[in-house]
Chain A
Amino acid sequence: MKRAFTAACAATILALPVTAETIAPGDVTYEDGAVSTSLTGVPGNPEEGAIVMGTKSIGNCVSCHEIGALADVPWQGNIGPALDGVADRWSEAEIRGIVANAKMTYDGSMMPSFYKVSDFIRPGIGFTTKPLAPEDVEPLLTAQQIEDVVAFLVTLKEE
Chain B
Amino acid sequence: ISAVGAANAEPVDDELVINEDVEIVTKTDAPEHMEYIDEVMSGWLFREDDTRDMQRDDFDNPGMLGVEAAMETWDEVDGTAGKACSDCHGTIDEAQLAGARAVYPKWNENAGEVWTIETAMNACRTERMGAEAWDYNGSDMINMSALMSYLSRGMPMNVAIDGPAAETWEKGKEIYYTRYGQLELACANCHEDHYGDMIRADHLSQGQSNGFPAYRLKDAKLVGLHNRFKGCIRDTRAEPFAIGSPEFVALELYVASRGNGLSVEGPSVRN
Q: Which chain A residues have a beta carbon within 8 Å of chain B's beta carbons? A: 56, 60, 62-64, 66-68, 71, 73-79, 82, 84, 110, 112-113, 120-124, 126-132, 137, 140
Stretch of B20-28, B38-46, B47-55, B176-184 with 4 or more beta carbons under 8 angstroms from chain A = B176-184
B3: nearest residue on chain A (CB-CB)?
Answer: A71
Query: Which residues of A have CB within 8 Å of B181?
Result: 120-124
Query: Which residues of B have CB within 8 Å of A132?
Result: 182, 239
Question: What is the distance, in angstroms, from B205's C-beta to the closest C-beta of chain A?
Answer: 14
Question: What is the distance, in angstroms, from B150's C-beta to the closest C-beta of chain A?
Answer: 30
Q: Report B216-255 CB contacts with A as 1/0, cut-off 8 Å.
A: 0000000000000010011101111000000000000000
Question: What is the distance, in angstroms, from A94's C-beta to the closest C-beta of chain B?
Answer: 21
Query: Which residues of A have CB within 8 Å of B9?
Result: 78
Of B4, B178, B182, B184, the most chain A CB neighbours within 10 A belong to: B182
Query: Which residues of A have CB within 8 Å of B1?
Result: 66, 68, 82, 84
Q: Interface residue tally of chain B, by bracket? A: 20 to 34
Please measure, in the bound complex, the distance between the C-alpha atom of A129 and the C-alpha atom of B230, giving whole angstroms: 8
* B185, CB-defined interface residue at 8 Å: yes
* B5, CB-defined interface residue at 8 Å: yes
Asked if A121 and B6 sit within 8 Å, CB to CB, the answer is no
Question: What is the distance, in angstroms, from B243's C-beta to the closest C-beta of chain A?
Answer: 11
Query: B184's contact among A68, A79, A112, A124, by CB below 8 Å, is which?
Result: A112
Asked if A74 and B4 sit within 8 Å, CB to CB, the answer is yes
* B201, CB-defined interface residue at 8 Å: yes
Query: A77's contact among B180, B197, B235, B240, by CB below 8 Å, is which?
Result: B197
Asked if A77 and B198 sit within 8 Å, CB to CB, the answer is yes
Query: A56's contact among B3, B180, B193, B200, by CB below 8 Å, is which?
Result: B200
Q: Which chain B residues have a beta carbon within 8 Å of chain A's beta carbons? A: 1-6, 9, 178-185, 189, 193-194, 197-201, 230, 233-235, 237-240
Asked if B200 and A66 sit within 8 Å, CB to CB, the answer is no
Instruction: Determine the main DSSP class of B at the interface with A.
Output: loop
Q: A78-B198, A79-B197 are in contact. Are A123 and B237 (CB under 8 A)?
A: yes
Asked if A76 and B182 sit within 8 Å, CB to CB, the answer is no
Q: A110-B189, A120-B181, A123-B181 are in contact. Are A79 and B2 (CB under 8 A)?
A: no
Asked if B238 and A76 sit within 8 Å, CB to CB, the answer is no
Asked if A124 and B238 sit within 8 Å, CB to CB, the answer is yes
Question: What is the distance, in angstroms, from B188's C-beta to the closest C-beta of chain A?
Answer: 10
Asked if A120 and B184 sit within 8 Å, CB to CB, the answer is yes
19 more CB-based (< 8 A) A-B contacts, given A112-B182, A126-B237: A62-B5, A66-B5, A67-B2, A68-B2, A68-B4, A75-B198, A76-B2, A76-B5, A77-B200, A84-B1, A110-B194, A121-B180, A122-B238, A123-B182, A124-B237, A124-B238, A129-B239, A130-B239, A140-B183
Query: B4's contact among A71, A112, A124, A128, by CB below 8 Å, is which?
Result: A71
Question: What is the distance, in angstroms, from B48's C-beta to the closest C-beta of chain A?
Answer: 14
Asked if A79 and B238 sit within 8 Å, CB to CB, the answer is no
Query: Which residues of A have CB within 8 Å of B184?
Result: 112-113, 120-121
Query: Which residues of B have CB within 8 Å of A113?
Result: 184
Question: What is the distance, in angstroms, from A127's C-beta to the closest C-beta of chain B?
Answer: 6
A126: nearest residue on chain B (CB-CB)?
Answer: B237
Asked if A79 and B194 sit within 8 Å, CB to CB, the answer is yes
